[in-house]
């Protein structure tokens, strides 16, 4: 890790809520629950050199970005490839705004936009043949992670960002967090490792039972 910036500005934010609000506005500071302090966000810490374009060969690259698997680092790396789809694909057919490098596109999104831009599937008999043509022209890949590790990472991500006390409270609940059945955050458990572990277990157990056949 190199290039830590705004350290003094982040350290001046003494509470998780203040740090969370600053992250929502600038994406520069994140709350470190273990150290109990506000620190420069990871996006400000990690600077990856772009991959040399010759390593991309001549095929387009489609990175299927699954959340909470360090995909942002991969997206930054392939951003140096002239054939990276992040530079060629757009949010929808009518948009002229380039897709962000860490956007969570699916293979279906890539295929649809590739078909619209190239017209390569116009003479093909069915969708299966179109998909086969896309796979021949585009190298697609994804990164996977241990599902238990990913679920813990997701819990802490929601705790520090979208479902923080500043954005998800009994008076103003977040629909997204309610849909995820995420508990309301308060200092009685947020500032305690044991409290976080207990809330995590209470949160994940009903989800596990729901998925059990």
Number of domains into which the chain is organized: 3
pLDDT at 88 over 70: no
pLDDT in tens, 126-149: 999 999 998 888 888 888 899 888
Position with higher pLDDT, 113 vs 97:
113
- 157 with 194, same domain: the answer is yes
Position with higher pLDDT, 148 vs 28:
148
Sign of the alpha-carbon dihedral angle for 5, 35, 71, 68 = negative
Q: Let me know: does 146 contact 68? Beta carbons within 8 Å.
A: no
Q: State which residues form the domain around 198.
A: 146-213
- 81 with 112, same domain: the answer is yes
- 167 with 206, same domain: the answer is yes
- 154 with 210, same domain: the answer is yes
pLDDT at 203 over 90: yes
Average pLDDT for residues 73-94, to the nearest whole number? 57
Residue 91's pLDDT is what? 43
- How many residues can be counted in the chain? 213
- 38 with 77, same domain: the answer is no
- 92 with 122, same domain: the answer is yes
**Residues 6 or more apart in contact with residue 69 via CB below 8 angstroms:** 143, 144, 145, 150
pTM check: above 0.85: no
- 70 with 133, same domain: the answer is yes
What rounded mean pLDDT belongs to the chain? 75
pLDDT at 157 over 70: yes
pLDDT at 73 over 80: no
- 104 with 67, same domain: the answer is yes
- pLDDT above 90 coverage of the chain, percent: 25
Nearest-angstrom CA–CA distance, 199 and 184: 10
Q: Let me know: does 152 contact 167? Beta carbons within 8 Å.
A: no
- 65 with 120, same domain: the answer is yes
Residue 15's pLDDT is what? 75
Residue 32's pLDDT is what? 73
Residue 69's pLDDT is what? 86
- 37 with 72, same domain: the answer is no
């Amino acid at each position: 890790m190199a290039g830590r910036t705004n350290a003094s500005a982040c350290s001046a934010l003494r509470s998780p809520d203040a740090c969370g609000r600053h992250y929502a506005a600038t994406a520069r500071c994140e709350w470190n629950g273990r150290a109990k302090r506000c620190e420069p966000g990871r996006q400000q810490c990690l600077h990856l050199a772009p991959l040399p374009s010759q390593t991309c060969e001549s095929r387009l690259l489609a990175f299927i970005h699954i959340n909470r698997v360090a995909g942002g680092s991969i997206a930054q790396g392939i951003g140096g490839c002239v054939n990276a789809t992040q530079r060629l694909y757009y949010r929808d057919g009518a948009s002229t705004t380039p897709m962000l490098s860490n956007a969570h596109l699916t293979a279906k999104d890539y295929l649809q936009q590739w078909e619209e831009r190239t017209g390569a599937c116009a003479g093909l008999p069915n969708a299966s043949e179109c998909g086969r043509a896309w796979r021949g022209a585009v190298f697609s890949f994804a990164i996977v992670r241990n599902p238990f590790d990913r679920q813990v990472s997701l819990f802490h991500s929601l705790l520090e960002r979208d479902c923080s006390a500043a954005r998800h409270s009994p008076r103003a609940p977040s629909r997204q967090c309610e849909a995820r059945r995420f508990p309301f955050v308060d200092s009685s458990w947020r500032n305690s490792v044991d409290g976080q572990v207990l809330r995590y277990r209470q949160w994940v157990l009903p989800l596990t039972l729901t998925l059990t056949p």
